Structure 1
Amino acid sequence: MRAIRRFTVRTVLPAPLADLDDLAHNLRWSWHPGTRAVFADLDAAVWEQVDGDPVAFLGALGPQRLEGLAADPEMVARVRAAASDLRAYREQPRWYQRQTAAALPASVAYFSPEFGVAAALPQYSGGLGVLAGDHLKAASDLGVPVVGVGLLYRAGYFRQGLDRAGRQTETYPVLDPDGLPLTLLREEDGSPALVGLALPGGRTLHAQVWVAQVGRVPLLLLDSDVPANDAAARAVTDRLYGGAGDHRLEQELLLGVGGVRALRTHARLTGSPAPDVFHTNEGHAGFLGVERIREHVAAGSSFAGALELVRSTTVFTTHTPVPAGIDRFERRTVEQYVRALDDAGDLPVADVLALGAEDQEGGDPLVFNMAFMGLRLAGRANGVSRLHGRVSREMFAGLWPGFDPQEVPIGSITNGVHAPTWVAPEMTALASRRMSPHDLATGSGWEDGGAISDTELWELRRRLRSRLVDDVRRRVRASWHQRGASSADLRWVDDALSPDVLTIGFARRVPTYKRLTLMLADPARFAALLLDEDRPVQVVVAGKAHPADEPGKRLVSELVAFADQHHVRHRIVFLPDYDMRMAATLYPGCDVWLNNPLRPLEACGTSGMKVALNGGLNLSVLDGWWDEWHDDDNGWVVPTADGVDDPDARDAAEAAALYDVIEQQVVPTFYDRDEDGTPRRWLAMVRHTLATLGPKVQATRMVADYVAHLYVPAAAAGAALAADDKAGAVALADWKARVRAAWPQVSVDHVDSGGVDDAPRVGDRLHVRAWVALGDLTPDDVEVQVLHGPVGPDDEIAAFGVAALRLDDTYEADRYGYAGDVELTATGPFGYTVRVVPRHEALTSVAETGLVTTAT
C-alpha cells in the first residue's frame, strides 16, 4: 500500500539533553572525534546501526532510553561540554580574524552543484563535490566567512549495485530533508522562505532553502519540491546530474540566479553580511553573474558598468581539462529563459548571450557555453593544479586571440583535502600524543623515528589494513547476497584479502579516461602478480559510472567479470556504491594508491592526497597534483607514452610500464624486511610522504591560498570600483568602450634595434626602439612592450620575457617613440617583437580586454 503523504516525526529531547540537537545538526561532528565519541557512548550499538548518523541516531533511541540518559549526570555533563566546545569553535577568533589585509572580504559566497560534506548528507557524485565539502570545512576551521550555495537533490546521485551478471544497477532512494542534518530557512512569521524565478511560458520556479551548518559555515541548499510549483518544476531538483536539456538548464538557473536570491534572503533573515566575493566552482553556477548584473542594472547602473562590478568580485575555478566536460546549451533555448527572467527589462538579452558565445575559431555559433560565460564574468580564474592551469590556458586560449597561452589569465591553486575528515583516528591520535603542534603542522615530526618508531608505525599500518580487510569482506558478502548468492556459496569470502598482503587501492568515478581496466590489459601477467606465492598483491577497486555513460558501465562489468573468477577473487574485489563511508576505511587501509588516467586529463585528483595523509604511497602517471609534488621517495611514477596516437597502443605500453613498476619496485620495497620483519625502506618512504606531502595537501593551505591570491584581491577591486556611487566601475566601462572603439587605429609602424655587434654575447644589452600610432588614444591608455626570448626554427618565441618600453619622444602628431634595453641572458638563437596593449590600473591581466597589436 503506497502512502499518499509522508513526513518524519522528530524526536523530542529531554531538557538536560537538548544540546544534542545542535550537535547533531552541525556537521562539525563529521570531522570532530570528540563529538562523535559523545554520540557513540550514548548507545554504541545504535550508533553503529545507523552508520554514525547523529540525526538518525537520535530518532532511533526512543523516549525511554533518552529519559534514562537524561538522568545520568556524567553523560549530561559530557553533552553540555561538547556543546560548549562547539560554541567556542564557532564564536572565537581563528586564523582569518588575525589577518591584516586591508580588503578582507566580509563574506565569500561559494557556489557548487554538489557538496560532499558527510555521508549522512548524500549530495555529491565524486571529487568535485567532496572538494567543495572540504573547502567549506577548511574555511570553517580557518574562520573564513564563507557561505556555501547548492541544490538539495531529493534522490541525491544514485545508489550503485551489481546484478547477477556483474553489470551496474542504479537506484534512487528518496531522501527526506527532515531526516537529514538540515534546518529550513523560515520567514519571521514561521513560513518557509521561498525564492522564485520566472520561466518561459509564464511559469515560475519556486524553491525553499535548507541550511546545513558546516561548523561556522552555513550551506544553503535550494529545494524545488514545494507545493507552489507544478509537477515539472517540483522535479527540477530531483537528482544530481540526472537530466539533460531544459532540465539541466533549469537546475543551473536555479543554482545561479536562485542561489543569489537565496543569499539575499538568508542575509535579510539572519543579519549576516552580504557576500562581497562570489566564487563559482565550475561553470554550473555561472548564471549567478547574470543575476548580479540584473541587480545592479535595476539599481541604476548601465549593463557595462554592472559587468565591471560583477567581474571584479567574481572568482571562477575550472575543474575540467577537456571541452567535453563543459555544459553547453542551445543558444536559442538560453535566450528564451533569459527573456523570461528579465520581466522588468533590465537585461539586454544580446549582451547576456554574448557572455556564453562560442565566437572563437572553431566554435559553434548556435551554442551557449557555460565555461565561457564563467570566464567572461570572472575577474580571476584558476585551475586546480599547476599542470591543469597550463592545460586550461591552452584549452581556453581562443577567448584571448593574439595572446600566447602562457598569458591567458587563468592561474592555478592546487587542491587540498581536509585532514580531520580523511585521516584515520588512530593515526591522528598517535601523532597528536607524540608530536608537538609545530612538528605536526610542518611534518618534521615524521622525519625520524624519535617520536614514533618504525615498529609502531608498521603495526599501525597493519591495523588499518586489517580493518579494511574486515570491511571489504562485509561489503563483498552483502554485494553477492544482493546478486543472488546464498550464504553457502560465500564461504570463500572469509579468506578474501589478507591483512599481511601488499594492498593497492583504486577508487574514483569511472569515465573512460580514468582507465579503470588498464590493470587488466595483460590478464595473465596481472593474475601472476596477484597470485605470487611469496610476494602476492591484492587490489581493492570501487567506482561509479554515470548512469548514461555506457562505455563507463562496460568498464565496470569488465572489471567485475575479472574479479569474479574463482582463482583470483580472494586477491581482487570490486566494491559497489563507492561513497564517503567506504572511503573512510579504504584510504587508510591501502598501502598504495593507483592512478592511471590518460595524461593530462586528470585536473587534480585528491584521493591520492588522502591516502598519503594516512601513510600510503602513490603509484601514478604524472598528472594532476602528482605531476607537481612527486619525488623519488614518496611513491612511484608510471611512465606514459605521450604522443602515441593509437589509443590501444598507448594503453598497452602504459599497462606494461605499470606492471614493470609494481614487479620491480613496489613489491620488492614492501616485502624486503630486516631481521625484525620490518620493511625499513618502505617505512622511510612513508615517513618522507607524511613529512613532505602532509603540509602541502591540506585543504587549509588551499583555502588560505584562495584568500591571499583571489578573495582579497577581488574584494579590493570590488571596493575600488564601487566607491563614490560606483564611479570606478563607470569610469572603467567607459574607458574600455573608448579603447575598443579606437583600437583599429593602433599600429606598430617601425621597430629597430642596436647596441650589439654582429656577434652578440651573453650580458650584452639590446637597445630597442619602436614608433607606434595610437589614433585617438594617448600614451596613458597603452603600454608598449618588447617580448623576447629563445626562438625555434620557425622563429616562434616559445617562452618569452616581457619588458615595458619607455615613452621617448613624439615622432609625429599621433605617432610616439618608445625605447628600452633587453639584456641577453642565454646563448642560442634569440628573437624579439614589439606589441601594444591597453593599460589601466583596474585591469587584472594584460589580456583582460582581449586587445593587442603586434609588430608585423
Structure 2
Amino acid sequence: MKAIRRFSVRPVLPEPLRPLSDLARNLRWSWHPETRELFRSLDPEAWRASAGNPVRLLSAVPAERLAELAEDRGFLRRLAVAAGDLADYVSEPRWYQRADGVLPSGVAYFSPEFGITGALPQYSGGLGILAGDHLKTASDLGVPLIGVGLLYRHGYFRQSLTHDGWQQEHYPVFDPNEQPLQILREPGDGAPVRVELRLPGGRVLRAFVWKACVGRVPLLLLDSDVEENAPGERDVTDRLYGGGSEHRLLQEMLLGIGGVRAVRAYCRVSGHPEPEVFHTNEGHAGFLGLERIRELGEGGPDGTRLGFDAALEKVRAGTVFTTHTPVPAGIDRFDRELVARHFGDDGELPGIAVEDVLRLGMESYAGGEPNVFNMAVMGLRLAQRANGVSTLHGQVSREMFAPLWPGFDSSEVPIGSLTNGVHAPTWTAPAVPADARDLKDAELWELRRSLRERLVQEVRRRLYASWRQRGAAQAELGWIDGVFDPDVLTVGFARRVPSYKRLTLMLRDRDRLMEQLLHPQRPVQIVVAGKAHPADEGGKRLVQELVRFSDDPRVRHRIVFLPDYGMAMARHLYAGCDVWLNNPLRPLEACGTSGMKAALNGCLNLSVLDGWWDEWFEPDFGWAVPSADGAAADDTERRDAIEAAALYELVEDHIAPQFYERNGSGVPDRWVEMVRQTLTRLGPKVLADRMLREYVERLYAPAARSQRELTPPAAEELAAWKARVRAAWPGVVIDHVETSGEAGSGEALEVGASLGLRVRVGLGGLGPDDVEVQAVSGCVDESDRIAGRGAVRTPLKPTRGPDMEGRWLYEGPLALDRTGAFGYTVRILPAHRLLAGGAEMGLLVVPSENAASSSDGTGGLLMR
C-alpha cells in the first residue's frame, strides 16, 4: 500500500553522541576515511544499507545500540578526536589565508550539477564531478567560495538493463531531509528563505534554498518543490537535464537569476562576505550576469545606480566563464521568442529591456542562426575572462567561438586554458601510499594485485545484482563466480555514452577482440560502464551492443558491462584496473578527468591524444592511440577502422606482453616502473590543488582587481568610451604602409636586420590614446598567413598628425628576428587601460589591398 504522504523522522541522539550529527551534516566525511570508518563502526550492516549516507544511517541504528555506544569510552574518544579534527579543519588558516597578493574576499561558483558523493545524486557526469572536486579543493585550500546549484528531487536517473540489454531509467524519490542538507532559514522567525522569479502571465516561480556544508564551503541548492507553486513550476527542479526547451530555460533562469538571489540571502543570513568574483561553470548559469546588471541598475553597494552599459562593464570585470564543450551541439540554445517572452515587463528583470537581454545571447555573427539565443555566447559576452579545460580544448574553443571576434586569428580569441584536476582524497584508494618512491617493486606489484582482487569481487557482486534485475534465476548464475581473475590484465572503460566517446570501438573487430580476451598466455579482461542520456536512442543502442557482446557465454567471464555507473562504482574501477581506456574522436574530449583519477591509483592510461592526455602524455606513463588524419579523419568508418586496429595492436604487441613479462621473482619490472612513474611524476600534475591555485592566481585574483578598479565612475567612463569607439570605428582606416631598411629592392635580408615602418591612418575622430597601431610579424605559410602563435606584435608610435585630412603618421622598427619565409602586416585596435586585452571589443582594422606600398620592395620578405 502506497503512503499518501512521506515524512522524515530524525533520531534523538544521546547527549554524548550529539557530535555525530555535526559530523554527518558536513560532507567532509565523503573524502575523510577516518570519519567514514567511525560511522561504519556504529552498525556495519546499516552503513551498507544506507549506501554510505551518515544521515540515513543515524535514523537506522537501533536505540539500544546508540545507548550502548554512549557508554563506550573507546568509541567516545574516537568521536571526540573526529569532532575536534573537523572543528580545526573548518577554522584554521590554510593556503589561501597565507597567500600573497590581491585576492577576492569571496567567489560564487555556479554549476548545474555537483558530484560530491554518490549519496547525494546531483550529478550526471564529468561536469558535475569536476564541480564537486572544485568545492572540496576550495575547502582544503581555504578559498572563500560559495557553490550554487539546483536541488533535483529525482536527481539523475538510475540505470538498469532489460533481459535483452536495453537501458532502462528509474528516478527514485530524493528526500532532502534524509540527506546532509539543511534548509536556509531567516534568523528571526526561522521561516525558510524563499527565492522568487516572475514568469509570463503573472505566474511566480518560488524556490527554497538548501545548504550543504562541503567542508568549509557552503553549497546552496535551489528547490522549486514548494507547495505554493503551480504544478508546472513545482516540477522545474524535478530532474537533471530533463524536459523540453521551456523547462530547461526555467531551470537556467532559476540557477542564474535565482542563484544570485540565494547568494545574497545567504550572505545576509550568515554574515558571509559578499563574493567579488562570479564563476560560471559552463553556460547553464549565464543569466546570473543579467541579475547582477539588474542589481546595479537599482543601486549597487554604495547606492549608485548604473545604466545598463556601465553595469555590464562592472559585471564583466568580475566574471569568469569556463566552457566545457568542444562541440556546438553540446551548448544549450533557445528560440529567440521563448527567451523574449520570459523577460521584460511581463517576466523577469523588468528594469532591463528585452532587446538588451537578447543581444547578449543572439548568434549575430557569421555562421550563426539569427533567431537562436546561445547560452555559451551569452556567457562569453558577460565575462571578461574565459577558459577551456585543457590546452587542446582551449585551442578548439578559440576556433569554435572565433566568429565572435571577426578579423582576429583564432590564437588571439580571448579564451585561455586551464587544465582540470581531480581531488586526490576522494579518488585515491586508502591503500595507495602518499609517496610510492619508498615502495620496493615487489611491494608495489602486490599493492596493485590486491586492488585488482578487490575489483574482481566488486565486479562479481554488481554483475550478479544486474543479472537478477534482468530476470535471471539464482540457479542460472553460478558462472558469475568465475568472472574475472585477479591475475589477469584488467582494462577499464567507464564514462557517459555520447557517440563521440565511441563506447563500441573495441568491438570493431570482434574476432580479434575475442582472441585477446581468451589468449592462452596473455589474456585481457575488460570492465565497461556508462549511461546514455534518456533521450539518446543512439547511445542506448551502443550500450545494448556492448551488453549483448558481453553476454556471449564464450567471453562473459572476460568482459562485463556494469549498469548504474556512479561515484561509488568509479572508485573501485579507478583503483582496480591496470589500464584506463579512452578512445574519443579527437579533439572532441574537453578534458577527460577519469584517466586522471585512475592515474592517482597507479593505473596506466591508454588513450587517444585528446584532452589532458594530449598535453601530458609520455611513454613512461602509458600509451597513445594514434589518431587517423588526412582524408581518413573525415570518413567516420575508415577512421574508426584505423584507430581500432591501432588499439588492438597496442594491446597485443606492447601492453599485454609488458604486463605478463616477469622477472625471477614474478614481478613485471617494466610495468611496475611505469606504475611508479605514473604515481610520482604524473600524479602531482593531475591534482585539483594545482588546478584551483591556477584559478585563483590566473583568473580569480585578476578578476577581483578589475572589479575593484571599476568603480561606478570608472564603469560609466568605460561604457561611454566603448560607445564612442564603436560609433567612430567605421571611420578608422589604414591609408598607406611603407618600409625603409637595409636592403635594396628584391634582395633577401639577413636575420638581425631591421626595417622602419611608416603607417598613415585615419582615426575617425578618435585620438591616439583611444587606439593602438601595431605591426604584426612572423613566419608565413604558403598562403602568406602569419603564424598566430609565433607572431610578434609591436606597437607603433604616432609621430605626426593630425594633418589637413585628419590623418596621423605612425612609425616604428620591425626586427627581422627569424629565418625563412617572413612577413608582416599592420592593424589598429581599440586601447584602454581597463580592457583585459586588445581583442576584447572584437574591433580590428587591417590594410585594404591598395593601402600597402613599399619604398624598397621588401613588403614580402625571405630571411636567410
| 2:310 aligned partner | 305
Please give the TM-score of this superposition, normalised by the length of structure 1. 0.96
Secondary structure in 2 matching 1:262? helix
**Retained in 1: the 8 A contact 2:201–2:346?**
no
Q: Residue 551 of structure 1 aligns with which residue? A: 538
Show the counterpart of 2:496: 509
Residue aligned with 1:700, SS:
helix
**Aligned partner of residue 371 in structure 1, secondary structure:** helix
Aligned residue number for residue 127 of structure 1: 126
Deviations 1:205-235 (A, max 9, x none): 0000000100010000000001120111110
- Using the alignment, how far apart are the partners of 1:221 and 1:341 within structure 2? 26
CA distance 1:186–1:835, change in 2 (3 Å): same
Per the alignment, in what secondary structure is the counterpart of residue 743 of structure 1?
helix
Q: In structure 1, which of residues 738, 749, 760 is the aligned counterpart of residue 735 of structure 2?
A: 749
Alignment partner, residue 526 of structure 1: 513
Q: TM-score, normalised by structure 2?
A: 0.96
- Matched residue, 1:372: 377
Aligned with residue 702 of structure 2, among 697, 704, 713: 713
Say whether 1:587 aligns with 2:583. no
Partner in structure 1 of residue 857 of structure 2: none
Letter in 1 for 2:351: D
Which one of 813, 829, 832 corresponds to residue 821 of structure 1? 813
Q: Which runs of structure 2 are paired with 1:103-252 in the superposition (5 Å)?
A: 104-188=103-187, 189-252=189-252
What CA deviation, in whole Å up to 9, does each residue of 1:5-57 have, x standing for no partner? 11111111111110101100100000011111211222233223323221111
1:730 paired with 2:719, answer no
- Are 1:652 and 2:635 counterparts? no
Alignment of 1:665-676 (within 5 A): 665-676=654-665
Match of residue 97 from structure 2: 97
Three-state SS of the structure 2 residue aligned to 1:742 is helix
- AA at the equivalent of 2:629: D
Match of 1:350 among 355, 376, 384: 355
| Alpha-carbon contact 2:405-2:839 (below 8 Å) kept | yes
How big is the shift at 1:342? Answer: 5.5
Residue 781, structure 1, aligned to residue 770, structure 2: yes
Question: Is the 1:206–1:224 contact (alpha carbons within 8 Å) kept by the matching residues of 2?
Answer: yes
The equivalent of 1:486 in structure 2 is 473
The letter of the residue matching 1:828 is G
SS at match of 1:812: coil
* Alignment match, 2:683: 694
- Confirm or deny: 8 A CA contact 1:303 1:348 kept in the other structure: no
Distance in 2 (alpha carbons) for counterparts of 1:756 and 1:655: 57
Q: 2:325 aligns with which of 311, 320, 329?
A: 320
Following superposition, the deviation at residue 811 of structure 1 comes to: 5.9
Per-residue deviation, 1:173:
0.4
2:341·2:347 contact (CA, 8 Å) conserved in 1?
no
Contact 1:604 1:625 in 2 (8 A): yes
**Take 2:540 and 2:416, find their aligned partners in 1: how far apart are those partners?**
35
Percent identical across equivalent pairs?
62
| 1:850 shift after superposition | 1.0
Instruction: For 1:428-467, list aligned pairs within 5 A.
Output: 430-431=433-434, 440=435, 446=437, 451-467=438-454
Residue in structure 2 matched with residue 641 of structure 1 by the alignment: 628
CA–CA distance in structure 1, aligned partners of residues 348 and 618 of structure 2: 58
| Partner Cα separation in structure 1 for residue 826 and residue 612 of structure 2 | 36
Question: Post-superposition shift, 1:782?
Answer: 0.6
Q: Secondary structure at the match of 2:460?
A: helix
* CA apart distance, 1:669: 1.0
Instruction: Give the whole-Å Cα distance in 2 for the aligned partners of 1:316 and 1:514.
Output: 25
Partner SS for 2:477: helix
Partner of 1:404: 409
Q: Secondary structure, in 3 states, of the residue corresponding to 1:829?
A: strand
The CA distance in 2 between the partners of 1:304 and 1:40, in whole Å, is 56
Contact 1:197 1:341 in 2 (8 A): no
- Confirm or deny: 8 A CA contact 2:389 2:417 kept in the other structure: yes
Q: Aligned partners of 2:425, 2:700: CA distance in 1, in Å?
A: 24
Alignment of 1:597-608 (within 5 A): 597-608=584-595
How far apart, CA to CA, are the structure 1 residues paired with 2:34 and 2:550? 39
Q: Which moved more, 1:130-139 or 1:782-791?
A: 782-791
How far apart are the structure 2 equivalents of 1:214 and 1:751? 60
1:418-476 CA distances to partner (integer Å, 9 max, x unpaired)? 0000000011xx33xxxxxxxx5xxxx63xxxx11011100000000000000000000
Does residue 740 of the first structure (1) align with residue 726 of the second (2)?
yes
Structure 2 counterparts to residues 248-327 of structure 1, below 5 A: 248-299=248-299, 300-327=305-332
Alignment of 1:612-631 (within 5 A): 612-631=599-618
Deviation at 1:365, TM superposition (A): 1.1
The corresponding residue for 2:786 is: 797
Q: Distance in 1 between matches of 2:547 and 2:14?
A: 50
3-state SS of paired residue (1:9): coil
Cα contact 2:586–2:610 (8 A) shared by 1: yes
**Unaligned runs of at least 5 residues, structure 1:** 432-439
The alignment partner of 1:573 has SS state of strand
**1:500 counterpart residue number:** 487
Cα-to-partner distance string for 1:383-415 (whole Å, 9 max, x where unaligned): 000000000000000000011100000000000
CA–CA distance in structure 2, aligned partners of residues 462 and 380 of structure 1: 46
The residue number in structure 1 matching 2:836 is 844
C-alpha distance in structure 1 between counterparts of 2:72 and 2:348, whole Å = 60
- For the pair 1:386 / 2:385, whether they are aligned, the reply is no
What is the CA–CA distance in structure 2 between the aligned matches of 1:341 and 1:19, rounded to whole Å?
Answer: 50
Q: How many residues matched? A: 834
Which residue of structure 2 aligns with residue 79 of structure 1? Answer: 79
Three-state SS of the structure 2 residue aligned to 1:378 is: coil
Give CA deviations for 1:497-522 in whole Å, capped at 9, x if unaligned.
00000000000000000000000000
DSSP-derived class of the 1:28 partner: helix
Structure 2 partner of 1:853: 845
- In structure 2, the partner of 1:437 is none
Q: Secondary structure at the match of 1:425?
A: coil
CA distance, structure 1, for counterparts of residue 798 and residue 87 of structure 2: 60
| Structure 1 SS opposite 2:738 | strand
Query: Once the two structures are superposed, what CA deviation does each residue of 1:716-744 show, in whole Å capped at 9, x if it has no partner?
Result: 0001102xxx1111111011011111111
Return 5+ residue gaps in structure 2 as ranges.
Answer: 300-304, 849-864
**Separation of aligned partners in 2, 1:821 and 1:255:** 52
Aligned to 2:334: 329
Amino acid at match of 1:618: N
3-state DSSP of counterpart to 1:207: strand
Say which SS state the counterpart of residue 373 (structure 1) adopts.
helix
CA distance in 2, matches of 1:35, 1:70: 17
Contact 1:599 1:642 in 2 (8 A): no
Give, in whole Å, the separation in 1 of the partners of 2:470 and 2:349.
Answer: 57
CA deviations over 1:285-329 (Å, ceiling 9, x no partner): 000001000111111210000000000000000000000000000
RMSD of aligned Cα (Å)? 1.1
Q: Structure 1 residue 677 and structure 2 residue 666: aligned? A: yes
Shift of the 26–818 alpha-carbon distance from structure 1 to 2, 3 Å rule, reads same
Is 1:807 aligned with 2:806? no
Alpha-carbon deviation of 1:693? 1.1
Kindly tell me: are residues 584 and 455 of structure 1, through their superposed partners in 2, closer, same or farther at Cα, counting changes over 3 Å? same
CA–CA distance in 1 between the matches of 2:490 and 2:349?
62
Structure 1 distance, partners of 2:78, 2:348, is 55
- Cα distance, 1:416 vs. partner? 0.3
Q: Does the 8 Å CA contact 2:492/2:573 hold for their aligned counterparts?
A: yes
